[in-house]
């Protein structure tokens, strides 16, 4: 397995005992929630407006996450539609806060941009975005 990430580090969090399942591993639902939050940050920055998750495609767990691991989620805009976008998210851990980095899962999250009234809105063209967003698209 390669140790090269796809995208930009969007969030980083320490896995705590309260996040573990009865077997002592970190719950898959917790990992999924962290990935959804990171993907939502990426989608919101790209859309420059409110976004909502509408689908998750093709997620599979490769390695477990353990208590004490640092979970980092890397995101990248994969595809833009009229009102939607697909965000690729990868979750990696640093074992015991200092160990080797290992990929634990990845998935594709689909978001829809919403206007102030909660209706689907057009995703703005790339040339209208702030520089900090443009830098992460290339």
When comparing pLDDT for 124 and 59, which is higher? 124
Q: Give the tens place of pLDDT for each residue, 83-117.
A: 999 999 999 999 877 888 899 999 999 999 999 99
Q: Is the pTM higher than 0.75?
A: yes
Q: How many angstroms separate the most distant Cα atoms in the chain?
A: 49
Instruction: Please name every residue paired with 90 in a beta bridge, in sequence order, or none if there are none.
Output: 74, 106
Instruction: Confirm if 78 and 88 have CB atoms less than 8 A apart.
Output: yes
Tell me how far apart the alpha carbons of residues 5 and 91 are, in angstroms, rounded to a whole number.
Answer: 9
Q: Is the pLDDT of residue 6 over 70?
A: yes
Q: Is the pLDDT of residue 72 over 90?
A: yes
Please give the DSSP secondary-structure letter assigned to residue 98. T
Report percent pLDDT > 70 for the chain. Answer: 98
Average pLDDT over residues 41-68: 94
| Backbone phi, psi, residue 109, to 5° | -110, 130
Helix, strand, coil abundance in the chain, percent, nearest 5: 25, 45, 30
Domains and CATH numbers, the chain: 8-137 (3.10.129.10)
Give residue 123's pLDDT: 96
First CA to last CA distance, the chain: 24
Average pLDDT over residues 75-86: 97
Q: Is the pLDDT of residue 125 over 60?
A: yes
Give residue 138's pLDDT: 61
Give the CA dihedral 12, 14, 18, 19, nearest 10 degrees: 50
């Amino acid at each position: 397995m390669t140790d090269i990430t796809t995208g930009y580090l969007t969030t980083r969090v320490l896995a705590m005992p309260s996040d573990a399942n009865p077997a002592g591993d970190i719950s898959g639902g917790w990992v999924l929630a962290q990935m959804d939050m990171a993907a939502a940050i990426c989608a919101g920055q790209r859309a420059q407006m409110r976004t909502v998750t509408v689908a998750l495609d093709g997620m599979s767990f490769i390695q477990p996450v353990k208590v004490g691991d640092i979970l980092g989620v890397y995101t990248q805009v994969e595809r833009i539609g009229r009102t939607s976008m697909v965000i690729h998210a990868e979750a990696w851990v640093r074992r015991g806060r200092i160990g080797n980095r290992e990929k634990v899962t990845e998935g594709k999250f689909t978001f829809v941009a919403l206007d102030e009234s909660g209706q689907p809105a057009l995703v703005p063209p790339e040339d209208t975005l702030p520089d900090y967003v443009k830098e992460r698209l290339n």
